[in-house]
Structure 1
Amino acid sequence: MLVETFGNDGLIFLVAFLLLSGIVAAKFSSRLGLPALVLFIAVGMAVGSDGLGIIYFDDVELAQFIGILALIIILFEGGLQTKWSTVRSVAIPSISLATAGVLFTAIITGSAVYLILDVTWLEALLFGAIVGSTDAAAVFATLKERNIKAKMGATLEAESGTNDPMAVFLTVMFIELIISDESNLWMLIPSFFWQMGIGLVLGLAIGKLAYKAINKINLESSGLYPILAVSFAFVTYSTASFIDASGFLAVYVAALVIGNSELTYRHSIFQFNEGIAWTAQIMMFIILGLLAFPEQVFQLSNIFAGILISLVLIFVARPIAVFLSTIKMKYTLKERLFISWAGLRGAVPIVLATFPIVAGIDGADQFFNIIFFVVLTSALVQGSTISNVAKHLGLMGPAKDTPHHSIELISIAKANAEVVQFQTNRDNAIVGKRLHEIDFPTKSSIAAIVRGDELVTPYGDTEIKAGDFLYILVSKKYHTQLMKVLNNKNKQAK
């Protein structure tokens, strides 16, 4: 339909325009104090039929498909960037928040919806299920550049990466109970444990297969390795979906395994996936913005209902769910309050809101419009104040030190070697030593040292300092031995 309207050349220009608009929105989002997703949605609504009228888009099924594809990419990138050493300490509370927390949120929010809207109990609980989970795209993007303490960031990212299965299960379950007289709650519950269990196992298995394949296969071009990695994300999701397991959970777990393994062309893979995740996020939120018609979303009745439901969700349902889900867990009152406030809603609720429309449930359009408003409210109110809330509660961490430099080999197939990037810290045994004093393995050599914004030429007398980024050329055969030397701790740290 779009090709018929704009022609091939016009459509290409339109895609370029939307991407550029999204990039400009991302650039100015931090200056405006707004999450980027709000501006992406605004771009979509602006060029839609109720805005400038450039694009008329009402294909719910296509929007759902694009949303799922984008979420796969975003979850995969988020899992790659997540350190298992940090997540491991918060695994139990994150899983509790991702399961019991979503259920509590859905029940409490659904109860409010039943009182606010003229709907049945099942329809109200369906609404609660749709907005019950936090959103990986919103959480990853919001926390990425903010200096939140590692424990808080890990808890929120792990929760948002693993709570989609519960939200999807509850949404599908309530849709089936509404449209089918033969559906039985007790028959549907075992499918949840199947989805979670098999999704977890499949993610672990494909993740291990993926990083072994990436490390062992010799490709002629270094640019193929990032494509190979993201291909495994789609393989993981589709394989899980074929056997009725949770594709989203499987993708996140597989990415965790891959990202925490010793990986060939690690920097290229991470950089590529970060770029494609931004692209997916921009296009997904713009498409969802196109799908929403401002004239309908911002009707007074929808605004009134949306504000009431948002208040319940933000100030009642989410806090109660967090406190109940983390009982007897090692979180302070301030940490629980922050987790409650940082439960952002985003693309997942909007994508899930298309499910009742596709299923043909009466009143689904109204649900979509109100849910859209709730997501905007969450992003505007919570997303724009996360840093201030964290600062007020004393939960800000150290400034993030992200390298803006890289060294890559052109073809690993010909060299059978790689450049390892490693950042030192005060606990590393090599800190304070000169290069000639360090027992580096055979066939390894320091290619460069980056200290702050300065490039340090490595000599035998060059002293390693905490915070240095080391770029080491090493034969793949000696990679493991090199990592043992680099990760060795000094006696005080032990």
Structure 2
Amino acid sequence: MLNEILESNQFILLMALLLIISVLVTKFSTRLGVPSLVLFIGVGMLVGSDGLNIIYFDNATIAQLIGIIALVVILFEGGLQTQWTKIKPVLPSALTMATSGVLVTTGIVAVASKYMLGISWLEGLLLGSIVGSTDAAAVFAVLKDKNIKGNIKSMLEAESGSNDPMAMFLTLSFIQLITQDQAGIGSLIWSFFWQMGIGLLCGLIIGKVGSLSINRINLDSSGLYPLFGLAFAFSAYSITALMDASGLLAVYTAALVIGNSELTYRHSIVRFNEGFAWMAQIVMFVILGLFVFPAELFQWNYLINGLLVSTVLIFIARPLAVYLNLLKSQYNNKEKLFLSWAGLRGAVPIVLSIFPMLAGVEGSQVMFNVVFFVVLTSTLVQGSTITFMSSKLGLEGEAKERSMHSLELISIGKTNVEMIEYDVTSKNKIIGETLECITLPDNALINAIIRDNEIITPNGQTVIKEHDTLYILVSRKSKQKLIKVLEKDTDTL
């Protein structure tokens, strides 16, 4: 009994050390110019059996389960922070890339794999479908703090958030064709429309129910609201998956609905999920690093095969998919070139490459090693040069402006009152006006102003200046009126 307790304590200590090391790694990744996701994988490989031999892990079922759970958390966080007004203009292009773009990429990689690796057509199509989609975890993590032109960034985020279901559908379909002779093309076509249609419908319904529930329930602690919101993400995935539909599409759709609704405790919900998504990424990539055996992976045949597939994917398949599917879009050649280069591969292909293992597909271990090398190459080469490419192509956006936040104070949590944090920009009409000249709605009061890192106690004669941060106490019923007053800009004059 004592030995079991000691082993449990040692395991908990090890997990704590891994988390600390992984979080510190994110600090150094920026200085090194290497995406933190690669370093997370490196941490897993370091403590694995071929490294320091601290942890031995080869359970494909657990790796897949952890990967799916992490993807749900990451997609939910990405959807919460995606503004509908920004992705709406690029949605047709994003959906085209999420469906037809994945098909084109799959087909080109399949042809290359057939002749370069000497595998069958179905195996080539399976490999192509596994690496066919860009990865939400990689794209959200790499682009989060990058100053890239707005519509390009929105396009990449919308595509990566919506193309995972297509890649998963193709992967499972080709596994079925390989392992079951009776699987027909007609049934697969019906399965596609069922999975996407039901996934979208369930996401919309659960998202609407989730946003209404969050706003109407009166919980004793504000810390419960983020957990309550996250519960709808897992509900969306599990309910939809049990209906043999796309759970990942349902999660992202539900997150879009919830994130673009008027939410109580929005700031707490978003901040919690942001931190939890980081933890999910860390755990997922460390686990995937543990699942890899470097001594087996870094053999010449895997290195050469992985390099060949990576070259085709990065320099042929992805660019052709972008240029063919966005032929009549609003994007110019420089923007298409950047979209081609920013098609990062990450955790999703690695998680999908575990599916053939669980299905007993012959040569699945070889396929996993090739996919892992492809992901490593994509993240290292493409992920570390995103900023450089955007600068060279002249696609850097305007300086990021902080969005308005709602600071939920525990002491007023049950009074339907919120503290709004608002950053004044050069476009705001209220610049140069005194507080007594600003017509605020009833039940709204500016309590404090932060200017040049100093706090100012406002009065009627206080003049609003650019870059001021306003803290405004407002009742929830007057919040929308306040937003309209604050967001009037000089363009509307």
Q: Is the 8 A contact 1:218 1:413 kept in 2?
A: no
Letter in 2 for 1:493: T
Q: Which residue of 1 aligns with 2:358?
A: 358
- Pairwise mapping of residues 30-429 of structure 1 onto structure 2 (< 5 A)? 30-402=30-402, 407-429=407-429
| Deviation of the 1:407 alpha carbon | 4.0
Letter in 2 for 1:36: S
Q: Take 1:271 and 1:5, find their aligned partners in 2: how far apart are those partners? A: 34
Q: Is the 8 A contact 1:219 1:413 kept in 2?
A: no
Q: Take 1:416 and 1:105, find their aligned partners in 2: how far apart are those partners? A: 50
Q: Is the 8 A contact 1:447 1:471 kept in 2?
A: yes
Deviations 1:416-435 (A, max 9, x none): 21122333333333333221
Deviations 1:283-324 (A, max 9, x none): 000000000100111111000000011000000000000011
Deviations 1:459-486 (A, max 9, x none): 2222223443332211122223222322
| Deviation of the 1:449 alpha carbon | 2.7
Q: Take 1:319 and 1:90, find their aligned partners in 2: how far apart are those partners? A: 18
Comparing 416-425 and 381-390, the one that deviates more:
416-425
Q: Is the 8 A contact 2:404 2:423 kept in 1?
A: no
**Gapped runs of 5+ residues in structure 1?**
none
**Gapped runs of 5+ residues in structure 2?**
none
Q: Is the 8 A contact 2:403 2:423 kept in 1?
A: no
Shift in CA distance, 40/128, structure 1 to aligned 2, threshold 3 Å? same
Q: Which residue of 2 aligns with 1:16?
A: 16
Deviations 1:353-400 (A, max 9, x none): 000000000100000011000000000000000000000000011232
Deviations 1:115-173 (A, max 9, x none): 12131100010000000000000000000111011111100000000001110000000
Q: Take 2:241 and 2:456, find their aligned partners in 1: how far apart are those partners? A: 50
Q: Take 2:326 and 2:452, find their aligned partners in 1: how far apart are those partners? A: 40
Aligned sequence identity (%): 56
Letter in 2 for 1:462: T
| Deviation of the 1:25 alpha carbon | 0.9
SS at match of 1:433: coil
Letter in 2 for 1:197: G
Q: Take 1:111 and 1:102, find their aligned partners in 2: how far apart are those partners? A: 14
Comparing 403-412 and 425-434, the one that deviates more:
403-412
Shift in CA distance, 391/8, structure 1 to aligned 2, threshold 3 Å? same
Q: Take 1:304 and 1:484, find their aligned partners in 2: how far apart are those partners? A: 58
SS at match of 2:172: helix
| Deviation of the 1:413 alpha carbon | 4.6
Q: Take 1:292 and 1:450, find their aligned partners in 2: how far apart are those partners? A: 50
| Deviation of the 1:334 alpha carbon | 0.2
Q: Take 2:244 and 2:176, find their aligned partners in 1: how far apart are those partners? A: 15
Alpha-carbon RMSD: 1.8
Q: Which residue of 1 aligns with 2:492?
A: 493
Comparing 418-427 and 101-110, the one that deviates more:
418-427
Shift in CA distance, 169/268, structure 1 to aligned 2, threshold 3 Å? same
SS at match of 2:353: helix
Letter in 1 for 2:32: L
Q: Take 1:4 and 1:320, find their aligned partners in 2: how far apart are those partners? A: 56
Q: Take 2:59 and 2:357, find their aligned partners in 1: how far apart are those partners? A: 11
Q: Take 1:285 and 1:303, find their aligned partners in 2: how far apart are those partners? A: 20
Q: Take 2:234 and 2:411, find their aligned partners in 1: how far apart are those partners? A: 25
Q: Take 2:269 and 2:349, find their aligned partners in 1: how far apart are those partners? A: 29
Q: Take 1:137 and 1:453, find their aligned partners in 2: how far apart are those partners? A: 34
Q: Is the 8 A contact 1:101 1:321 kept in 2?
A: yes
Letter in 2 for 1:400: K
The number of equivalent residue pairs is: 491
Deviations 1:26-65 (A, max 9, x none): 1110100000000000000000000000000000010000
Q: Take 1:85 and 1:74, find their aligned partners in 2: how far apart are those partners? A: 21
Shift in CA distance, 150/454, structure 1 to aligned 2, threshold 3 Å? farther
| Deviation of the 1:258 alpha carbon | 1.6
| Deviation of the 1:4 alpha carbon | 6.3
Q: Take 2:470 and 2:242, find their aligned partners in 1: how far apart are those partners? A: 44
Comparing 465-474 and 44-53, the one that deviates more:
465-474
SS at match of 2:492: coil
TM-score normalised by L of structure 2: 0.96
Q: Take 1:393 and 1:6, find their aligned partners in 2: how far apart are those partners? A: 56
Q: Is the 8 A contact 1:451 1:468 kept in 2?
A: yes
Q: Is the 8 A contact 1:219 1:412 kept in 2?
A: no
SS at match of 1:446: strand
Q: Take 1:4 and 1:108, find their aligned partners in 2: how far apart are those partners? A: 52
| Deviation of the 1:243 alpha carbon | 1.4
Q: Take 2:224 and 2:326, find their aligned partners in 1: how far apart are those partners? A: 43
Comparing 424-433 and 39-48, the one that deviates more:
424-433
Q: Take 2:397 and 2:190, find their aligned partners in 1: how far apart are those partners? A: 41
Shift in CA distance, 476/211, structure 1 to aligned 2, threshold 3 Å? same
Q: Is the 8 A contact 1:222 1:412 kept in 2?
A: no
SS at match of 1:126: helix
Q: Is the 8 A contact 2:451 2:467 kept in 1?
A: yes
Q: Is the 8 A contact 2:405 2:420 kept in 1?
A: no
Q: Is the 8 A contact 2:266 2:406 kept in 1?
A: no
SS at match of 2:103: helix
SS at match of 1:414: coil
| Deviation of the 1:412 alpha carbon | 4.9
| Deviation of the 1:263 alpha carbon | 1.6
